[in-house]
């Protein structure tokens, strides 16, 4: 279901500049060439559009097209950028392996590549950097072809509202014409939802929560099926967790770790209290190492699907329907 209203062009000109670390054969510092990383160009055939999605388990799947390859991609706010399944993009040239960590402690090496375009309904992206990894373990578990992950970099200029009950994603490409006070018509009734400030840190959504008087940093990850709490937190925090069983987690490759599973009680998020939330309890040190930044936990499908939920990534706000 799509609504075409007008054509909008958005060119992101504030691009970070990274120096390539190189090796001993590289030119000395000061004369070393720079690697320029540009944000993708984003256009839309409509100012506002509605994308239907399906689910594979607790994963949100939307149809998208990367260059000439069309299929299901995971809508994944936990991924920093575009990720492609190497099974379907193995002929693409690659450079610069990067590392990412997961809750199992595994470190996944991702090759980097470039695509000319990605089309998501009426939204079009051009000149995108992407990571190439093997997503076969997810495909085998879900029984569906998954061509990649649509990460945060693709949505940082958007207002996004996810309606799990109706299986719809509402997208609005924010421009200067909208002004700083823009809100979707879905947000007109301010009594129906609460507003929580968010941070964007390394292309991840960070929310600040409180549990047993301790302030915690959580990543909001639509690509994670279960919420997670770091096992290294103070014992006082775990007074709010009712552990129900021990589980085994399988990651990429042959990585397996033990974890605890239970219910988290009374997590405070803004002016709302989450009475009960299923969580895994495991060590998140590998994620700290991979991203050079530590978090205390992740809020996943178990949290997101409780409500209609929205984000304005320009004004850095999250909307949680009551």
Structure confidence by residue, pLDDT tens digits, 7-16:
222 222 223 3
CA–CA–CA angle 150, 55, 72 (5° rounding): 45
C-beta separation of 275 from 238 below 8 A? no
Fold classification of 184-321 (topology level): Cathepsin D, subunit A; domain 1 (2.40.70)
For residues 75 and 255, give the distance between their C-alpha atoms in angstroms, rounded to a whole number.
Answer: 25
Q: Where are the domains of the chain?
A: 8-173, 184-321
- What pLDDT is stored for residue 308 in this prediction? 94
**pLDDT > 70 in the chain, percent:** 81
pLDDT at residue 211 tops 70 = yes
Q: How confident is the model at residue 20 (pLDDT cuts 50, 70, 90)?
A: very low
pLDDT at residue 163 tops 70 = yes
Please tell me if the domain spanning 8-173 has the same topology as the one spanning 184-321. yes
Write down the residue that tokens 């909307």 correspond to.
319
- What pLDDT is stored for residue 285 in this prediction? 86
DSSP H or E run through 43: strand 41-44
What is the rounded average pLDDT of the residues 157-164?
96
What is the rounded average pLDDT of the residues 51-71?
97
For residues 55 and 60, give the distance between their C-alpha atoms in angstroms, rounded to a whole number.
Answer: 5
**Cβ within 8 Å of residue 235, ≥6 positions away:** none
CATH of the structural domain 8-173, one choice from 2.40.70.10, 2.70.150.10, 1.10.3720.10, 3.40.50.300 = 2.40.70.10
C-beta separation of 108 from 252 below 8 A? yes
- What pLDDT is stored for residue 33 in this prediction? 37
The structure's pTM equals 0.81
pLDDT at residue 50 tops 60 = yes
Q: What's the whole-number average pLDDT of the chain? A: 84
Q: What is the pLDDT of residues 81-125, one digit of tens each?
A: 999 999 999 999 998 766 555 554 555 668 999 999 999 999 999
For residues 289 and 266, give the distance between their C-alpha atoms in angstroms, rounded to a whole number.
Answer: 29
pLDDT at residue 68 tops 70 = yes
- What pLDDT is stored for residue 5 in this prediction? 24
The number of helices, as runs of H, and strands, as runs of E, in the chain is: 3, 26
C-beta separation of 172 from 310 below 8 A? no
């Amino acid at each position: 279901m799509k609504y075409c209203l007008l054509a909008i062009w958005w060119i992101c000109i504030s691009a970070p500049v990274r120096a390539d670390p190189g090796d001993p054969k590289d030119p000395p510092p000061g004369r070393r060439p720079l690697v320029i990383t540009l944000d993708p160009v984003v256009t839309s055939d409509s100012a506002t559009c509605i994308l239907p999605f399906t689910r594979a388990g607790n994963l949100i799947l939307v149809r998208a097209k990367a260059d000439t390859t069309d299929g299901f991609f995971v809508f994944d706010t936990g991924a920093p950028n575009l990720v492609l399944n190497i099974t379907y993009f193995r002929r693409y040239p690659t450079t610069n392996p990067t590392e990412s960590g997961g809750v199992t402690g595994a470190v996944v090496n991702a090759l980097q590549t470039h695509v000319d375009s990605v089309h998501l309904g009426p939204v079009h992206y051009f000149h995108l950097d992407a990571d190439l990894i093997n997503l076969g373990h997810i495909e085998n578990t879900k029984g569906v072809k998954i061509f990649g992950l649509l990460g945060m970099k693709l949505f940082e200029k958007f207002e996004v509202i996810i309606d799990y009950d109706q299986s719809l994603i509402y997208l609005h490409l924010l421009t200067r014409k909208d002004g700083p006070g823009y809100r979707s018509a879905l947000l007109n009734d301010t009594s129906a939802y609460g507003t929580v400030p968010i941070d964007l840190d390394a292309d991840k959504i960070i929310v600040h929560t409180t549990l047993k008087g301790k302030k915690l940093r959580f990543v909001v990850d639509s690509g994670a099926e279960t919420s997670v709490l770091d096992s290294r937190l103070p014992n006082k925090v775990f007074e709010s967790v009712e552990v129900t069983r021990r589980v085994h987690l399988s990651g990429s490759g042959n990585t397996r770790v033990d974890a605890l599973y239970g219910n988290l009680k009374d997590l405070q998020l803004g002016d709302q209290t989450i009475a009960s939330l299923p969580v895994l309890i495991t060590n998140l040190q590998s994620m700290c190492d991979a991203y050079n930044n530590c978090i205390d936990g992740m809020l996943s499908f178990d949290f997101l699907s409780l409500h209609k939920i929205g984000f304005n990534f320009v004004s850095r706000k999250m909307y949680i329907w009551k």
